[in-house]
Chains A and B, each alone.
Chain A
Amino acid sequence: MARPQVDHGGVRVERQPADGGKADEGRVVEGKTVEGKVIIDGPNLARIVDRMAHQILEKTSGARDTVLLGIPTRGVPLARRLADRIRAFEKVSVPLGTLDITLYRDDLRLRGARAVGRTDLPTAGIDGTRVILVDDVLFSGRTIRAALNAIADLGRPRQVQLAVLVDRGHRELPIRADYVGKNLPTALSENVRVRLVEIDGIDEVRIEAWRSLDGTGKGDR
């Protein structure tokens, strides 16, 4: 019943629906019960980040005039990892920043006010640079729409690109990523959960049955 699928990066994976027989439900991470199925484990996640770092170097001629902006929460450590790998491969130091998009969201009125995160730009700013936005999952595209608006208020980059660990489809806006760690076709009834060591204590990407993150049952997409 498992269908093999070939992803963008050529990695073969076995996929099952979230309610499939082999899902290892009930595993415990950091004291919480974890459900769903692991799609990317730690070592593979590291390989994917390596490949993305190489792709960035290739497409940007050695990451010149490039700034990596991570979108909180998990885009921030991802951006840092990409910068670390780029430094390890070619000894170039890419300026890093954080771009919080809470105040630019188009769904603020759908639930209570969210906590505002930190926006930190590299000291040299982003004018005239190539900004690469980094996020964990590309879904509706609304986060990236908000990020593009936020960038317009912060400066005028020469170019804006997008790097995501997982592209799960179901776009609601005309947005695409320049660097994709993994294309992961999903159903709307599923949830893609990225966990990173820096925040969650483990590196993995899982597909779970859909549950709203705040438990209210209202959308978080």
Chain B
Amino acid sequence: MKIKHLLSAADLSREDALAVLDTATEMAAMAGREVKKLPTLRGRTVVNLFYEDSTRTRISFEAAAKRLSADVINFSAKGSSVSKGESLKDTALTLQAMGADAVVVRHPAAGAPHRLAGWVNGSVLNAGDGTHEHPTQALLDAYTMRSRYGRIEGLKVAIVGDVLHSRVARSNVYLLNTLGAHVTLVAPPTLLPVGVEAWPADVSYDLDAVLPGVDVVMMLRVQRERMTDSFFPSEREYSRRYGLDLDRLRGLPSHAIVMHPGPMNRGVEISPEVADSTRSTIVEQVANGVSVRMAVLYLLLGGAP
């Protein structure tokens, strides 16, 4: 890879993105082995720096780094000196002094990983910054699509729901566009960001009109913790117009798959029957996350420093 940090899905060239997906395929083959460990990053230190809660992403990065034999240091803002008022910069300098080869950072502020990249010598991997980007999620989504369809070029993907607060949506739009898929964003007007017309994607307010023509439908979580305003009248009404239930599932082409980055609000954006159906790739996405993050760690850290 030509890049040192993974801050935005838009930084990935088509060549780099495909290198990640191809490497992830080989990493996934390792998951079936007796010894699920490679010596590749022995002696490297990966710091998980999490200022926001996370289950999947943190565990996934930790598992990925450990399978490559890196030393992993987990840092969460709770229980650290952050609660005593330590700034991101001072924390970064501490990590620098400890010799971190990579910092995986999740932060509520958009752009925090970019700032961090200027303060530490190692690679910075964005594991979600506010409502901005979550590039490894986009990579694992692309990997999941490719493993189902054998290609990404030409796929029609609908990304549905709370686009406004979704870093997953933004990263997916960039990456899928780079890889040649066609993306349609579906959301109520109140949940679309300003300037969405400049994104490389179509926009629709009508889910039922979009569903019959898609190969992939990606449901986004309604991010209540980020909602400071009333964006829709009630959850029930949101669910009726933008939730994926069994009736809408029947309206999808028979080959289409249902994705969700998790965590899910069952009964809001996705009904439990759909989430647990054979069309859903939600559990597969989590498993693929480890392979994709192994690939990213290897490609960023595996070579010459």
Contacts and interface: CB of A to CB of B under 8 A. Distances in A.
Interface residues of B, number: 24
Contact of B40 (A104, A111, A117): A104
A218 to B, nearest CB: 9
B303 interface: yes
Nearest to A117: B26
Query: Majority SS of interface residues in chain A?
Result: loop
Interface in B27-66: 27, 29-30, 33-35, 37-40
Contacts of A100: 26
A59 interface: no
A116 interface: yes
A111 B19 CA distance: 17
B23 A116 contact: yes
A201 to B, nearest CB: 24
Contact of B303 (A103, A104, A109, A149): A109
Nearest to B298: A113
Of A103, A109, A111, most buried by chain B (CB within 10 Å of CB) is: A103
Contact of A153 (B1, B34, B300, B302): B34
Nearest to A118: B26
B305 interface: yes
Contacts of B27: 116
Contact of B39 (A104, A110, A114, A154): A104
A155 interface: yes
Nearest to B44: A109
Contacts of B303: 108-109, 111-114
B299 A113 contact: yes
Of B1, B34, B304, most buried by chain A (CB within 10 Å of CB) is: B304
Given A109-B303, A153-B33, A154-B34, A115 B19 contact: yes
Contact of B37 (A110, A114, A153): A153
A115 B40 CA distance: 13
A108 B40 contact: yes
A210 to B, nearest CB: 21
A103 B33 contact: no
Contacts of B19: 115
A44 interface: no
B22 interface: yes
A26 B300 CA distance: 39
A116 B26 contact: yes
A109 B38 CA distance: 15
Contacts of B26: 100, 116-119
Contact of A113 (B1, B30, B37, B38): B1
Contacts of B299: 113
Contacts of B37: 153
Contacts of B300: 113
B34 A115 contact: no
B298 A103 contact: yes
B304 A115 contact: no
Interface string B181-209: 00000000000000000000000000000
B304 A103 contact: no
Given A109-B303, A113-B302, A115-B19, A103 B39 contact: yes
Contacts of B298: 103, 113, 116
Interface in A118-175: 118-119, 149, 152-155
A155 B35 CA distance: 8
A111 B304 contact: yes
Interface in A88-119: 100, 103-104, 108-119
A33 B241 CA distance: 65
5 contacts: A104-B39, A115-B23, A116-B23, A119-B30, A153-B38
* 4 closest Cβ pairs, A-B complex: A113-B303, A113-B302, A112-B303, A153-B35
